[in-house]
Every structure is written in structure tokens, then in C-alpha cells.
């Protein structure tokens, strides 16, 4: 069974940095795009970033461009999100998700349980 | 960026009812529309991709339709386990924006 497990969340001061990780098992990690999605407390879902199978292409939502970096290590079945210059608006549960394609139509069909990031002084 | 607008934002219904949630894109996205279900404290679950194609294991009472800018998710014969929040998401181009969500509650 495909499984994703996030880690690395916690409390960080405004302006600080945090690195999230997502470990994959039960799926051939290297052949899938992967995404990060976040959800602020009591709010809706926000797609944050995704990365191509080989790491050569990435996309970001405008609000995190230049501050967040998505990366992957296919040898370790691992996805990361480096978050810098954090602000309280970045406080959220962060999910990693498999970004799969069905006949050219993508969707996120496997999700982790989420890791919570709180940005506060 | 493509904006996704869902309506209603909340909906109250009874077991056995039929409900419809709509999602409108700010520009044409062809059939690049996904529907997710999220229960409190849980990760989202992909229900439908390409506007109307079921993910494995999704009951047939969930029906999606639409093309271009206007889409609907209809749930027929509501079951207890269907009370949750539903999100549409465009998968046409990044950033892959979500609608604001529709909370389906028991009447």
C-alpha cells in the first residue's frame, strides 16, 4: 500500500526557516511528480508546489516563490520542502501528495497525514 | 492564475438526499478538474479526476460533470459518511488552485 509520511513541522519564529520531509513507501517514488499542499487552521486547501519525477522541473504558488524550495532524493524515496523567511501566514498543516496523471489529467491521489507548522513569536 | 469559485460554501442535507455542488473556473480548463473530499482532521481524498472519472473505490453515487468553466459534483442518496467538506481543484496549469470548499452538514 502506498504511504507518505511527513515530518519536520514545529514552532518557528517569524523570519525563521524550517525543512519538511516526506518519506514514501509502497510506491515507485522515482516515477511520480510530487506535491506539497497546505491548509491554514480552519481554512481551505492551498496547493504550494510540485516537482517532476527527476527533479528537473518545479512549480510554486506565487506566495512562496523565492522563499520555499521543493526538492527530492529518489534514492531515498524522499521529498523535501525548505521554507525560509517564514511568516505567520505560512502557519498550516502541510501535506505531501503524489501527483499522478491519468491520460494526461493530473490529480493528487495519495496523501500523507500532514505535519503542522506554526510561525509565531 | 486560474481562480476557482465553489458554491455553496455550506450545505445542509439529510440522509438519502441528493445534493449538487458547483465549481466555476475563471477561464476555460477543459476537463482538468478534480474533486476531493476531506473529513475533519484527515487528509483530502481524491474522488474524481478529469471532471467525471472515478478514483478506485469511490461509490457511484458521486457524479461529476462539466467542461470549460462550469462543473458540478452531485451526490445522490447521501450516506452518513458523505458529510464532509468538498473541494474542486483545477489541474490545467500551475498553480493548481482549489476552490474555497463546500461543507456538507447533516440537517
Q: Whole-angstrom Cα distance, residue A9 to residue A25? A: 20
| Interchain contact, A103 vs B101, CB within 8 Å | no
pLDDT at B46: 96
Chain B hits for A106, CB-CB cut-off 8 Å, are 32, 49, 91, 96
Residue B56 or A23, more confident: A23
Chain A hits for B29, CB-CB cut-off 8 Å, are none
pLDDT at A104: 83
A74 has pLDDT over 90:
yes
Measured between CA atoms, how close is B77 to chain A, in angstroms? Answer: 25
**pLDDT, chain A, mean:** 97
Instruction: Provide the 10 A C-beta neighbour count for residue B86.
Output: 24
Calculate what percentage of chain A has a pLDDT beyond 70.
100
Chain B touched by A23 (CB under 8 Å) = no
pLDDT at A78: 98
The whole-number average pLDDT for the span A61-79 is 98
Closest-CA residue to A69 (of A118, A117, A24, A20): A20
The whole-number average pLDDT for the span B69-85 is 97
pLDDT at B40: 96
With H, G, I as helix, E, B as strand and everything else as coil, classify residue A100: strand
B86 has pLDDT over 90:
yes
**What are the cell numbers at A69?**
524550495
pLDDT in tens, B13-53: 999 999 999 999 999 999 999 999 999 999 999 999 999 99
Q: Whole-angstrom Cα distance, residue A74 to residue A14? A: 31
pLDDT at A105: 87
Amino acid at each position: 500500500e502506498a504511504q507518505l509520511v511527513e515530518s519536520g513541522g514545529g514552532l518557528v519564529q517569524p523570519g525563521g526557516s524550517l525543512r519538511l520531509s516526506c518519506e514514501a513507501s509502497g510506491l515507485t517514488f522515482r516515477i511520480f511528480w510530487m506535491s506539497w499542499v497546505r491548509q491554514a487552521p480552519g481554512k481551505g486547501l492551498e496547493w504550494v508546489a510540485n516537482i517532476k519525477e527527476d527533479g528537473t522541473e518545479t512549480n510554486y504558488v506565487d506566495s512562496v516563490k523565492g522563499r520555499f524550495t521543493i526538492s527530492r532524493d529518489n534514492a531515498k524515496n524522499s521529498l523535501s520542502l525548505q521554507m525560509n523567511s517564514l511568516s505567520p501566514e505560512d502557519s498550516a498543516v502541510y501535506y505531501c501528495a503524489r501527483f499522478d496523471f491519468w491520460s494526461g489529467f493530473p490529480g493528487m491521489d495519495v496523501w500523507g497525514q500532514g505535519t503542522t507548522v506554526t510561525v509565531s513569536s | 492564475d486560474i481562480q476557482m469559485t465553489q458554491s455553496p460554501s455550506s450545505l445542509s442535507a439529510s440522509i438519502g438526499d441528493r445534493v449538487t455542488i458547483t465549481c466555476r473556473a475563471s477561464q476555460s480548463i477543459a476537463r482538468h478538474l478534480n474533486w476531493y473530499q476531506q473529513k475533519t482532521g484527515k487528509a483530502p481524498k481524491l474522488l474524481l479526476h478529469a471532471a467525471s472519472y472515478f478514483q478506485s473505490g469511490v461509490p457511484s453515487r458521486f457524479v461529476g460533470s462539466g467542461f470549460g468553466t462550469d462543473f458540478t459534483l452531485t451526490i445522490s442518496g447521501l450516506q452518513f459518511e458523505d458529510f464532509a467538506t468538498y473541494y474542486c481543484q483545477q489541474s490545467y496549469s500551475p498553480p493548481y488552485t482549489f476552490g474555497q470548499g463546500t461543507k456538507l452538514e447533516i440537517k
